[in-house]
Structure 1
């Protein structure tokens, strides 16, 4: 587990953790050796001249003082290492998440990452701060005491030594038996976390649909499954707890019987037997706590394994010698992309000249949004190449590629802050005049005027305090402020009311001016803005041409246009 912990923490923290482990081990050995001095102390106290015990008592006091100092230093080192590593771990996790491809993120990741970033990291770092010292002490101190007993009497030492492999086997067997139960419990825990998040996010829909009772059942079912999995985990641990307790008690009973036999035979003095039994009793407490500590460590190990798996997820490779495009035309050259067993984009070839406008239309599930995501390198293609300015996007560093692109998504996410702070994400170093000019161009100024607080109005988490159209205007203002040469639009007006749609279209017109544009669209007004249109279905380009050409052919696009016209007329 230490190796996994060091791998999760990275090379920067490996040294402090190793030093902490060594210090804790030395402390555990010092604790066992200090107990060894009880043998001569009791032998002299119970002998003919108890005053001879003073030198041994002084040595015993000194040994206990050394152990106390070591224990204080090692515990302090563990706490400091734990808090330092906790801070560093959050930074490392955040940096790694920021480097993962955007295509990695999906709805299933929310519960997983939120759980790892909260309880997972705390549990993993708690190993160093709270669990490592008692676990090392529970393992090393009894072994040291057994060695001490061997040094005083080999028969009693061997009897105590027999218990060591038995306890080790029981702990190992219990760990293997609990692996499946622990994995199931972690899976149920993650599922329950996702259900809770889903339940909270879906409150408006559930209440308006009158489906709260059904959703409560789904949440209750996941929590009941978690309860059952937790019960199975506890039951799996019982054999190990009982087995360890019986082994320790049996060891103590054997030592007691053997000690009495040796004392009666005159081979060992009563004082030595008493001292050795005291040592054996002192071994019992850490050995009995080993089962509880092992269970906690198994839980922490599971979190560490999940953190290790997340941190081992490879980001998309960065070019060793990155290049920067000098022009802004876009090309798809025989591009094929698969997601699992499904081919999403299949052999697509097309190009958009610099300053040109391409519209991608087609039915749901045709691969339209994936088309944009490949251009933004959310994923790498499986075959062919996506090029910007004649350069493969894989040869352009992520930072440089993102500077070339302004993306306006259909679902806009705003951070919990002011409108100005959300606009500035497009270009943090922009002046106040540039921010306000972008807001005006996106017709966001009229929204700001009616909001309490104006520019300082808080948008809420995810932009919840703004309407969908208002959030879209913020997104367009952000893209205008970024002033990137290539614009990607993903059905930005698909669910807007007429007033907001008109305002958003005005902003889009300003955003597209003089830039290379690739848009996923199905609204008539958006499609008519394109110089070239491709109809995508099943990941293939089935038709392409200008709007007029495609209508004359009377194919799939013409059917799409007819349906769209009818829908617009009904509206």
Structure 2
């Protein structure tokens, strides 16, 4: 119970709760002002004259202002909560991705996409726009009838009040009746998202195997199942609207009108008219019914889905990295690992790894696929938290709670280079926003790609297109190297930087790295013997341990 309460508090922020109250207050104030207008009209009929007219105008203007406030505040509050929830979910997913004790299979990507888009939107529309207004709408009939019972006629006011609780009870009954339809609609949406995402991610494979027609038909069937589930939900919604709106509206209006006629001997003409007009406000809860099954039930289901994800995907404390107050750190080393262990949940991939990379050194690590090289590099880069042992980068202890700081200490070039759709300058400035053209050309020169870019018609302003289609893989890799050099970080981490490039590009990348000044520290993972020739030291990662290799003279 305590855990559930904690999760609920984390998903609905204090500001979100305040916004719900504000939206409900706006709705309530607007209804009260409308009631004031209707009562003033009754006073005008009874001879209230100019004073009653003035009050009617004042109440009308105020009602409009409060209604505008409800819509405006609710919309802004929903968008703010959307942003907060998406950040919360992204942070949780990132924590899970870097936590050693999380489920290695994780959450399906399609479910995460649905949760961060459709679910967050539905939840915030429900909580910030709909929920507060609905609570206010349920209160409005009681307040109106209480006023009628006290100020106009107790028989009319308190007799009709007895029927009002039947409305929320009716809504609850229909909610239970159509809960299965809402659950089925949500299930079909999730399945459709999964299938579409799988198809997009494997588009090349589908095309190569000639399975496009079959996948298209399967997606069509899944889409039709999703459409059917939505139509069943909407059909249920319409049934509720017809039954609730028709039945309760008829009962309330007829009962109120009948009681007003029966009590005509005790009521003035203006009071009778005011009672009849105020009947409109008794139907406020019914106006919310129209959106209940799409906004209400969808929002509640989305809230449960997000709460369930946050509750199940918990991140426990990482195994401690005992720093001994930093007394073990050697200031002359840019990378220092002592007895480091790491386990992804399927057995240890690092078993007591020791590594020292001196400042200005060139160190290479080799090993077969699956030996743990990427895990080792991830710890040094700050994308994985260390579990056991001592670990430091650039003289700073790697703290599992401050991995962002660790990431800021090094620059990386991966084997698969990602270029953003934009210009070459845009891609370079990702590393340092304030970089000048001179600095960018200097970095490109160091990466041995400046001459090729200089020959392009638009030079630094050349648009790379989707997937950097206008440049070769070797050029992309060297631009990535220039981006790392432009960052100003003196620890350069290279993860198979020449594995996907041609021989000429490989030679130029090696020359670029070899010609870097000795105040740059370079740690590289490689299978290529050509990179080993620029290394001062080399190690082989085998069975979770690092062993020193002898380099050819």
Asked whether 1:411 is paired with 2:416, we answer: yes
Per the alignment, do residues 412 and 298 of structure 1 end up closer, same or farther by CA in structure 2, a change over 3 Å counting? farther
Output the CA distance in 2 between the equivalents of 1:38 and 1:87. Answer: 39
How far did 1:333 drift? 3.7
5+ residue gaps, structure 1: 46-52, 550-571
Q: In 2 relative to 1, CA 250–78 (structure 1 residues): closer, same or farther, beyond 3 Å?
A: closer
Distance 1:249 1:13 in 2: 33
Secondary structure class of the residue paired with 1:407: strand
| Structure 1 equivalent of residue 357 of structure 2 | 353
- Quote the offset at 1:251 in angstroms: 3.3
* TM-aligned CA distance change 1:77 to 1:248, over 3 Å: same
- In the TM superposition, what are the counterparts of 1:278-427 in structure 2 within 5 Å? 278-280=277-279, 282-284=281-283, 286-295=284-293, 296-300=295-299, 326-339=331-344, 341-343=345-347, 345-354=349-358, 355-364=361-370, 366-389=371-394, 391-394=396-399, 397-398=402-403, 400-427=405-432
Superposed CA deviations along residues 289-312 of structure 1, whole A, max 9, x for unmatched, are: 221232324434556677889999
TM-score normalised by length of structure 2: 0.76
Task: Give yes or no for the alignment of 1:255 onto 2:252.
Answer: no
CA contact (8 A) 2:43 2:52 kept: no
Return the offset for 1:28. Answer: 2.0
In structure 2, how many angstroms separate the alpha carbons of the residues matched to 1:327 and 1:71?
A: 72
- In the other structure, the counterpart of 1:72 is 64
Superimposed CA distance per residue, residues 493-526 of structure 1 (whole angstroms, 9 cap, x where no aligned partner): 3232333333333334346965444333333334
Q: Is the 8 A contact 1:33 1:148 kept in 2?
A: no
Partners in 1 of 2:452 and 2:218 — Cα distance?
A: 39
| Higher helix residue share | 1
Structure 2 equivalent of residue 532 of structure 1: 538
SS in structure 2 opposite 1:22? helix
Within 5 Å, give how 1:79-478 maps onto structure 2.
79-81=71-73, 84-85=76-77, 131=130, 135=134, 138-151=137-150, 152-175=152-175, 182=182, 185-186=185-186, 188-193=188-193, 195-196=195-196, 199-200=199-200, 203-234=203-234, 237=237, 240-241=240-241, 244-245=244-245, 248-249=248-249, 251-252=251-252, 255=255, 259=259, 262=262, 276-280=275-279, 282-284=281-283, 286-295=284-293, 296-300=295-299, 326-339=331-344, 341-343=345-347, 345-354=349-358, 355-364=361-370, 366-389=371-394, 391-394=396-399, 397-398=402-403, 400-478=405-483
In structure 2, do the counterparts of structure 1 residues 382 and 233 end up closer, same or farther at CA, with 3 Å as the change threshold? farther
Deviates further, 411-420 or 112-121 = 112-121
The equivalent of 1:509 in structure 2 is: 514
CA distance 1:58–1:123, change in 2 (3 Å): farther
Report deviation, 1:394. Answer: 0.4
Distance 1:237 1:58 in 2: 46
CA contact (8 A) 1:159 1:255 kept: no
Q: How far apart are residue 456 of structure 1 and its match?
A: 0.9
* Residues paired across the two proteins, number: 528
Displacement of 1:273: 6.3
Aligned to 1:27: 30
Are 2:28 and 2:136, in contact at CA under 8 Å, matched by a contact in 1? Answer: yes
CA contact (8 A) 2:373 2:541 kept: no
1:200–1:158: structure 2 CA closer, same or farther, 3 Å change rule?
Answer: same
Distance 1:271 1:200, change over 3 A: same
Mapped contact 2:33–2:59 kept (Cα < 8 A): yes
Aligned partners of 1:478 and 1:436: how far apart in 2?
11
- Pairwise CA RMSD of aligned residues? 4.7
Query: Which piece of structure 1 moves more, 514-523 or 252-261?
Result: 252-261
Deviation at 1:20, TM superposition (A): 4.9
Deviations 1:267-301 (A, max 9, x none): 778986675455335523x3332212323244345
Deviation at 1:219, TM superposition (A): 3.0
In 2, Cα distance between the equivalents of 1:271 and 1:279?
A: 12
Indicate the residue corresponding to 2:47 in structure 1. 54
Taking a change above 3 Å as real, the CA distance of residues 402 and 150 of structure 1, as seen in their structure-2 partners, is: same
The 3-state SS of whatever aligns with 2:384 is coil
Structure 1 residues 370 and 512, CA gap change in structure 2 (3 angstroms): farther
3-state SS of 1:345 partner: strand
Superposition TM-score, scaled by structure 1 size: 0.74
Change (3 A) 1:24 1:13: same
- Over residues 130-188 of structure 1, what are the superposed CA-to-partner deviations in whole Å (9 max), with x where a residue is unaligned? 65786466334323322234334434334322333222223334446666654654454
Q: Which residue of 2 aligns with 1:499?
A: 504
**Alpha-carbon distance in 1 for matches of 2:517, 2:534:** 10
